[in-house]
A = this chain, B = another copy of it.
């Protein structure tokens, strides 16, 4: 039994995926649209199981609450987050045939060199030096320019309000931070997750379901005190080993190494306990889906490829045959980049109060903007000026006033204003303070659900002499159970339908099939990875038992009909293993 053969198995998987209704290229009858895929009936079931498993990890076990924010976002938000300015791909165009290419991908295809993250100037230079031409027509290529990857739209009828489809679900959480902070009663750390669509207007999406223009993310944003990136359960997993491919090893041309989390944190390979803990959780999650541990590694981002918001970032990569190692999860330390940006852009205080262990005696400068003076002078701008002043460090205001002849300059909506000394009252006090306001840091595990879905398909695919089937874990299989009447006889059919209904009452999706030989029905069920098949035969009428067949080893055992729903539920959950049924004779007997 070969669980994963490189190369040709992947085509077989896609063939079954299309034929049986897991995945279909979108808009096929209109000649398709690259970068978009439909989930068919079985695909949706599998995807939902994967997402439910994810929730089990993050919302149940880690206790993070979930939010749902819009796909459409106004420009202000994505301007603040840096996406309007920095979320770009380098692009080049053929001067002859007008075909458009992603410059770094084109260079990689032509030279084998990985040039991701290089500047547009550098890429233009390489294209020119290496004499790279349009692969389609041989024409000359243009200078490389930046192309923003967000889908743009207009909100409302005025034609003036620019919006974008979100490039990540994370921003919805950051924008909500003030509300979330109150929901969690202003206590760090806390985590918030979002599962939903994100959109990237890729220049030329390739690799099927791996590079999509519309995709599903499951992201957790974990807000922590900047100087406390620990996890209460870290000690439980500290000795677990992961295959790590650090930036240093990559740059030195070395291989990934299996080391313990403790060592990785102690030697500063992974920048914090919390980040390391989430690497481990990610590995656990992926192996729960049936992806073998040896097909998973964690690769650290090189300084050159790090996103504009990240301080340290590790990709969980799964080996996918011809595609190589593919990123399926990114686990980043985003520091306070996002909250800081949104605090500056919106003028809202997004800091959270953190208590010291014991109060400290400090000299404290307080500033009180005088609304009686600022109000009349600035009118409708006064409120924003007030907000801005209150968010500034009082010490800084005091310094600037004394340095700058009793004036301080502030910027509101790109306009500069001068505030005078007599418009701000400054008080100095010595007092005990209980804590300080901090802007939390963020650790973010970000899961690409479509790629994980695909990895789950290919790594559970089994081909042996007789069969091709998906050996999905029992709680991941899209359809958990099949019910077949052995023969096309009314009494068997009626009983089979009754069994099907009993299973449906438990909320299970049941594959009921009465067409073709029992062998063909087993084969069809195996092919889509149904772990358990119940067959109703003549003996069922006589003694009230049926056979349950186990997909993975084709073994069969008889149990009493009224024990079916409970037994199947336990088998799916893993509370009982199939081979254990042989030792549970009480299951053969009706209550």
Chain A residues near B (Cβ < 8 Å): 20-21, 24, 26-30, 33, 35-41, 43-45, 47, 56, 59-61, 65-74, 76-77, 91, 100, 147, 151-158, 163, 165, 172, 175-176, 178-180, 183, 192, 197, 199, 201-204, 213-214, 342, 345-346, 348, 504, 507-509
Contact partners of A178 in chain B: CB under 8 A? 28-29
Determine if A60 and B504 form an interchain contact, defined as CB atoms under 8 angstroms apart. Answer: yes
Answer whether A175 and B29 are a contact pair too, CB < 8 Å, given A36-B70, A157-B147: yes
Q: Which residues of B contact A65 (CB under 8 A)?
A: 21, 41, 44
Contact B91 A67 (CB under 8 A): no
Q: Which of B27, B60, B69, B100 contacts A26 (CB 8 A)?
A: B69
With known contacts A29-B346, A507-B60, A72–B151 Cβ distance under 8 A: yes
B residues in contact with A163, CB < 8 Å: 151
* 22 residue pairs bridging A and B, Cβ less than 8 Å apart: A21-B179, A21-B183, A26-B69, A27-B73, A27-B74, A29-B342, A29-B346, A30-B346, A35-B155, A36-B72, A38-B70, A39-B68, A40-B183, A41-B180, A44-B67, A59-B509, A60-B508, A61-B504, A70-B214, A156-B202, A156-B203, A157-B201
- Whether A33 and B66, one on each chain, are in contact in the complex, defined by CB atoms closer than 8 angstroms, is no
Contact A38-B68, Cβ < 8 Å, known A29-B175, A29-B178, A29-B348: yes
B153 lies within 8 A of A33 (CB): no
Q: Which of B26, B40, B176, B192 contacts A24 (CB 8 A)?
A: B176
The closest CB in chain B to the CB of A18 belongs to B179
A66 partner, pick from B44, B77, B179, B346, beta carbons under 8 A: B44
- CB distance A56 to B507 under 8 Å? yes
Bound CA span A213–B74, Å: 13
Chain B contacts for A158, CB-based, 8 A: 100
Closest Cβ–Cβ distance, residue A521 to chain B (whole Å): 13
Contact: B29 with A72, CB < 8 Å? no
Find chain B residues with CB under 8 A from A348 CB. Answer: 29
A74 touches B30 (CB 8 A): yes
Task: Decide yes or no: A175 and B27 within 8 Å by CB, A147-B157, A155-B33, A156-B201 being known contacts.
Answer: yes
Q: Who on chain B is nearest to A505 by CB?
A: B60
CB <8 Å contact, A68 and B43: yes
A197 touches B69 (CB 8 A): no
Pairwise interchain contact A38-B69, C-beta atoms closer than 8 A: yes
Across the interface, do B41 and A183 meet the contact criterion of CB distance under 8 Å? yes
State which of B20, B66, B91, B165 has its C-beta within 8 Å of the C-beta of A153: B165
**Contact indicator A154/B157 (Cβ below 8 Å):** no
Closest chain B residue to A148, Cβ basis: B157
Asked if residues A157 and B91 are in contact (CB atoms below 8 Å), the reply is yes
Closest B residue by C-beta to A63: B504
Are A26 and B157 closer than 8 Å at their CB atoms?
no
CA distance A59 to B346 in the complex (A): 44
> Are the C-beta atoms of B203 and A38 separated by less than 8 Å?
no
If A72-B213, A165-B165 are given as contacts, then 7 extra A-B residue pairs at C-beta distance below 8 Å, sorted by A number, are: A28-B178, A30-B346, A38-B70, A44-B67, A45-B66, A61-B504, A197-B197
Flag if A60 contacts B183 (CB, 8 Å).
no
Taking the closest CB of chain B, its distance from the CB of A65, in whole angstroms, is 3
Asked if B100 and A197 make an inter-chain contact with CB atoms under 8 angstroms apart, the answer reads no
Bound CA–CA A488/B203 (angstroms) = 59
Q: How far is the CA of A152 from the CA of B164 in the complex (A)?
A: 11
Pair A157/B67 contact, Cβ less than 8 Å: no
Residues of chain B with a CB closer than 8 A to A77's CB: 27, 30
A30 partner residues in chain B, CB cutoff 8 A: 74, 76-77, 175, 345-346
Contact B38 A176, beta carbon cutoff 8 Å: yes
On whether the beta carbons of A41 and B66 are closer than 8 Å, the reply is: yes
Q: Given contacts A60-B504, A156-B201, is CB(A39)–CB(B67) below 8 Å?
A: yes
Q: Are A179 and B28 in contact (CB under 8 A)?
A: yes
A346 proximity list for chain B (CB < 8 A): 29-30
Residues of B within 8 A of A38 (CB): 67-70, 172, 176, 179
Contact, CB under 8 Å: B203 / A157:
yes
In the assembled complex, the Cα of A197 lies from the Cα of B157 at a distance in Å of: 21
Question: 3 closest pairs, A vs B, by CB?
Answer: A41-B65, A39-B68, A29-B346
A91: which B residues are within 8 A, CB to CB? Answer: 157
Q: Which residues of B contact A147 (CB under 8 A)?
A: 157
Give A341 Cβ to nearest chain B Cβ, in Å: 12
In the complex, the chain B residue whose C-beta lies closest to that of A152 is B153
Q: How many Å lie between the Cα of A30 and that of B342 in the bound state?
A: 9
Nearest CB of chain B from residue A525's CB, rounded to whole Å: 15
A26, A72, A155, A158: residue with the most chain B Cβ atoms closer than 10 Å: A72
Q: In the complex, A77→B91 CA distance in Å?
A: 29
Q: How far is the CA of A201 from the CA of B486 in the complex (A)?
A: 55
Give Cα A203–Cα B152 distance, bound, in whole angstroms: 18
Distance, CA A71 to CA B41, complexed state (A):
17
Contacts of A504 in B (CB 8 A): 60-61
- Bound CA span A91–B159, Å: 14
The answer for the CA separation of A65 and B509 in the assembled complex, in Å, is 9
Query: Is B179 touching A24 in the complex (CB atoms < 8 A)?
Result: yes
Task: Please give the distance in Å from A169's CB to the nearest CB on chain B.
Answer: 12
Interfacial chain B residues near A100, Cβ < 8 Å: 156-158
Which chain B residues border A155 with CB–CB below 8 Å?
33, 35, 151, 201, 213
Nearest B residue (CB) for A202: B156
